[in-house]
Structures are given as C-alpha cells and as structure tokens.
Structure 1
Amino acid sequence: MSRPILEVVALSAEDAAAAEAGGADRLEVVTDMAADGLTPSLETFAAVQEAVSIPLRVMLRLADGFSAGGDAGIEELCARASALRAEGAEEFVLGFLDDAGQADLRAVEAVTAAVAGCRWTFHRALDRAADRDALRKQLADMPGLDTYLTAGSPDGVAEGYRTLLAEAARTAAREPGYAPRLLVGGGLTLDHVPGLRRAGIDAFHIGSAARPQGWSAPVAPSAVRTWRRALDGD
C-alpha cells in the first residue's frame, strides 16, 4: 500500500506549522469550529499558506449546517471562493444539501464554477443526505470532485464503520459515483485505523484528535506524529 494521506484541521498558521511538523500531508483550513468549520478570512489563509509547504484545502461554508443560504448565500460563497482563489488557494472543501436532503446542485455548480479547475472535497454533508448513493450519483460528473469526507454516519465512524467498508469496496470496484477517494473523519479513533486500512481506505482526517487540550489549544505535533506512525504501520 502507498503512504496514506493524513489531513489535519488548521485554524491558524501556528496550527498549520505544528501539523506539518508532525507529519500531516494536507490541511483543511477553516475558522470557527463552534460552527463545525467555516470559511477562513483571506488573512488567515495567507498566513497558513506562508507557514507551510503542504497542500491546503480551504472550507467554503458560511454557517453551521448544510444549507448554502439561498441566492444571497450562493452569491457570498462565490465571492469568497473567487477571492481565496485569487489569493492562491488551489483546493477547496464544500457541501450543500437542499430541503429534500440531496445535493444542492445549483449551489455546488455555482461555487465550483467560481474556482474552476480546482480539486475539491464534498464534506460530511454526505452523512446527512437522505440517500447517500443517490447523492453520489448526482455528483458523479462534477468536475474537480476527487474526495468525500465522511464518517459513514452522522453519529461518527463507530456508527458508520460498516458503511465505510461497503463504500470502500464500491470505490475499489469503480462503481458509478464511487470514484472519488474516501477521506474518513468524524469520531475517528486510532482503533478504527487497521480495519479501514485493510479495506483499502488510504485517507484520514483529524481535528480534535490533533489537539489533546481541546479546540482552545493549538495542534500538538506529537499528537499528529502518533497518527502518522499509526497510518504508516510503524
């Protein structure tokens, strides 16, 4: 197996540098974890970009939940996406659901058009979808979509573990809608890693696990290093 990807949530340049020092391969750059991660300011993104050399995926999300916020929200999301792209952002994270619990295609298409040519992750909105398989089919031909961040369940990896194994098998089989990589995160623990790795999952996302002292404290390189060793089988 190739080296698995370890993505760490970064709220600041300090977080970013610590995560890279611990062995992170990529960062998800956000602000306001009380709202489960929103779009960072241009200043925060620029500081993080300056602090590290690893890839950054920047969150495009205005408020807690998975609504894009209607016409005004979509307009604001596109404006922020364009500004971040102009600042040098090359990869993004987003995910919007409509009132029926399926992908809000109007929002997704508008926001991704604002960063055309960039790769992006559809985040844990997948775990709140009315029909996971239908959502994947909706997004199957979306340009730039290369990753789904998911716990397999809105209640976390422990509840969604069997779903993750089943979807890993469908990804390996290249079923329609299952080509994007599975990035597992949301209640992920080190105990989950061996079984997920055996299933072929090769990308993992951590937030609070990189902060033993909680979200009010920065990322600890030692915590990230523990995950790096576990993923590498050391």
Structure 2
Amino acid sequence: MSGVLEVLALHAADAQRAEEGGADRIHLIGSLDGMAPEPALVEKVRDATSIQIRVMLRLRDGFGTDGGEVVRLRGLAASYADAGADGIVMGFLNGHGDIDAEVLGALLDEGDWPWTCDRAVDSALDTNRAWRALLNLPRLDQVQTAGSARDLEHGLDDLLARCRADPRVAEKVVASGKLQTEHVPWLVRAGVRSFHIASAARPLGSWKAYVDPDLVHSWRTLIDSEVRHHARP
C-alpha cells in the first residue's frame, strides 16, 4: 500500500524531477503567487512527465471571482484539458465567506475532469458549512487543507479531529500547508492518504532551486512506510 504524494511545480524541469523522486502528481502553478499558468506551459509539462498533472485555475489574488471572470476560467479549464492536464485545482468563496457553489457549478458544467479544491476551505467563515457544501459538488475527489488558514502547525489538531469524525473527509484530504515530516504519522492514523509538498521539495526550501528528486524520494519513502505500517493487522 502507498499514499499519494503531490508536488508543487512551476515548470517542466520541476515536473521531471518530481517524477524521478517518485511523486504521483504535479500541482502546476504559473507563478509563485499561485496564479493560473498559460496552456502552453501545461503542454510542456505534459511532454516532460507521465505522472498526473493538476493545474491551478485562478486569475486573481485570494479566493474571490465574479461572473465576468467565469467565462475566462471556463476557457482556461478547457484549454488545460486539451493540453493534457488530468484535472484542475480551484476554490472560490463568495462575499459571505462561503464556498461559492454557484461559480464552481458554472465551471463544472462543462468537461468531465476531476478537481481538487484548494485551501479556500480553510479560509471559509464556517469551515463545517464549507465542507458540507464541497461534499455535494460533482467530480470533487481531493481537498487541500491545513485545518487552518495559517498552516498545519496551527491546524493539525482540528484537521485530525475532522478526519476522525468523518471518513469521507479523510479520504478527500490532501494535507497541505507547510507539511512537516512529524505530521505524517498523525495524519495517516487519522485516515489521510494524500500529501502535498511545496518548498519542502526544494533544497533549503528555496524557490530559487528546482525540485530535488532526493528530497521527493525521502517524502515518498516516509509516506509509504507510514501507510504500510498503519495497514498492518
């Protein structure tokens, strides 16, 4: 048995190195502020790697959007699918701080791609209500979360409690937000099997460096070891 290891990538070289280290999936962004990449970059990454690619769909800072932007977002999502992406990463909140089911529904009207909700859920006004809304949306199979709008160091206890209380949540969680090695055993015991690393995949955590295959491999080994250990009778 093994878990799912997702690595944040900025370009094709990152993707190649993540695959070499044993990653299962790339979360591709177009810039360090987490914006949507150009479809041409998705094509380059697709040519460079055989593992799954999920592409960030966001055109502005924060988790808000508006009706005028939805047309552009739908066009980008279609372009990403045509370029070889396996899925989308997105998440939007409305003016009340709730999951924007209307916008997400409009984006999900076309295509059949699976998607990951990004950490919008952590910034929702009522996270319990946000999770209920997400679980009712079509084709959602993963949710990036730290259990806190800050990071896992601050949200781990809440995230563990949520996963223990509802196995459906644990199955969808991608533990994300400055994941540390010491968090992994606790998360695995709570039913989490998917993990996201960003700067932790780079030497000294520097964004000036490419993804390091050896660092990715160390995470791969840790996650798989913990999942196998937990699965023993």
TM-score after normalising by structure 2: 0.92
Residues 1:226 and 2:226 aligned together:
no
Residues 1:155 and 2:150 aligned together:
yes
Give SS of 2:182's match: helix
Give SS of 1:117's match: coil
Q: Are the structure 2 counterparts of residues 198 and 179 from structure 1 closer, same or farther at C-alpha, using a change threshold of 3 Å? A: closer
Residues 1:102 and 2:101 aligned together:
no
CA distance in 2, matches of 1:168, 1:179: 5
CA distance in 2, matches of 1:89, 1:23: 19
Give SS of 1:190's match: coil
Gaps of 5+ in 2: 227-233
Q: Are the structure 2 counterparts of residues 127 and 76 from structure 1 closer, same or farther at C-alpha, using a change threshold of 3 Å? A: same
Measured after TM superposition, the shift of residue 77 of structure 1 is 0.8
Within-5 A mapping of 1:1-234: 2-33=1-32, 35=33, 37-68=34-65, 70-114=66-110, 116-172=111-167, 174=168, 178=169, 181-213=172-204, 214-233=206-225
AA aligned opposite 1:119:
P
Give SS of 1:77's match: helix
Measured after TM superposition, the shift of residue 179 of structure 1 is 7.3
Give SS of 1:92's match: strand
Gaps of 5+ in 1: none
Deviations 1:96-116 (A, max 9, x none): 0011110112211111223x3
Is residue 171–residue 180 contact of structure 1 (8 Å, CA) maintained in 2? no
Give SS of 1:137's match: helix
Q: Are the structure 2 counterparts of residues 179 and 117 from structure 1 closer, same or farther at C-alpha, using a change threshold of 3 Å? A: farther
AA aligned opposite 1:47:
K
Is residue 52–residue 85 contact of structure 2 (8 Å, CA) maintained in 1? no
AA aligned opposite 2:209:
A
Is residue 170–residue 192 contact of structure 2 (8 Å, CA) maintained in 1? no
User: CA RMSD, aligned part only?
Assistant: 1.5
CA distance in 2, matches of 1:219, 1:90: 21
Is residue 143–residue 174 contact of structure 2 (8 Å, CA) maintained in 1? yes
Instruction: Count residues in correspondence.
Output: 225
